[in-house]
């Protein structure tokens, strides 16, 4: 079956760095997405990786290793507003989105 794994919850300190991991097993691969979702709001697009390597976008970076079925989202200089759920989703061979359950990130002062 198809599966996406990411930690349920993580806690980090304001100003620090946190890495949220995502591992996947899917039938085919057409890219991996990271979204940020604040409570009561729609998910916001953060990144899309389809080739191996690191993509940096301001304070957020996303890494992909297709051979390992692994990605991570790296958040630097954490701010209180970064407290949210972070969703990992993979586009499979049928261009269907397979979703992780999300990682709730708690930022403490």
Interface with other proteins (CB under 8 A): 1-3, 35, 37, 41-45, 48, 85, 87, 89, 94-99, 101-102
- The answer for residues whose C-beta is within 8 angstroms of residue 56's C-beta and 6 or more apart is none
Q: Which is nearer to other proteins, 43 or 69 (CB)?
A: 43
Name the minimum Å distance from CB 75 to other proteins.
Answer: 17
Between 1 and 67, name the residue whose CB sits nearer to other proteins. 1
DSSP state of 96: -
Least separation in angstroms between CB 15 and other proteins: 26
Instruction: Tell how strand 9-13 and strand 103-108 pair up.
Output: parallel
Compute the least distance from the CB of residue 25 to other proteins, in Å: 12
Give the nearer residue to other proteins in terms of CB position, either 17 or 99: 99
Element (H, E) at 100: none
Angle at 24 between CA 37 and CA 105, to 5 degrees: 30
Give Cα 101 to chain centroid, integer Å.
Answer: 11
């Amino acid at each position: 079956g198809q599966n996406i794994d990411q930690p349920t919850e993580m806690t980090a300190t304001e100003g620090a760095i946190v890495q949220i991991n995502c591992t996947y097993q899917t039938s085919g691969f057409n890219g991996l997405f990271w979204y940020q979702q604040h409570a009561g709001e729609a998910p916001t697009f953060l990144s899309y990786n389809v080739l191996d390597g690191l993509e940096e976008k301001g304070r957020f970076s996303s890494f992909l290793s297709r051979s390992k079925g692994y990605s991570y989202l790296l958040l630097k200089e954490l701010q209180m507003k970064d407290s949210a759920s972070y969703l990992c989703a993979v586009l499979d061979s049928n261009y269907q989105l397979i979703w992780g359950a999300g990682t709730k990130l708690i930022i403490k002062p």
